[in-house]
Amino acid sequence: MGTAIFMVLMVCGYWYSSRDLSTRFKFKRTFGWDVYFLVALYGCIFVLQGIIATGILWLLLLIASITMNALPVWFGPEEHRFQMVFMNWSFLGIQAPVVIMLAFAIFFCLYRSNWAMSARLDSKGRLSLYKELASANSLEGLLYQCMESGQLVWLTLKSQRIYIGMIHAATFDSSNASNVVIIPMLSGYRDSKTFEFTAEHNYSAWYAEHDITLSSEPQSALDFRKVILLEQVESFSLFDPSHTLALGMRKESEMFKEG
* Domains present along the chain, CATH in parentheses: 2-119 (no CATH), 123-258 (2.30.30.100)
- List alpha helices for the chain, DSSP H: 2-19, 21-28, 33-70, 72-75, 82-88, 96-110, 123-134, 138-149, 203-209, 241-258
Q: What is the mean pLDDT of residues 187-210?
A: 82
Beta carbons within 8 Å of 34's beta carbon, 6+ residues apart: none
The answer to whether the peptide bond before residue 97 is cis (omega within 30 degrees of 0) is no
- State the pTM of this model: 0.52
31-79 per-position pLDDT tens digit: 667 777 878 888 888 889 988 998 898 898 888 888 888 877 777 777 7
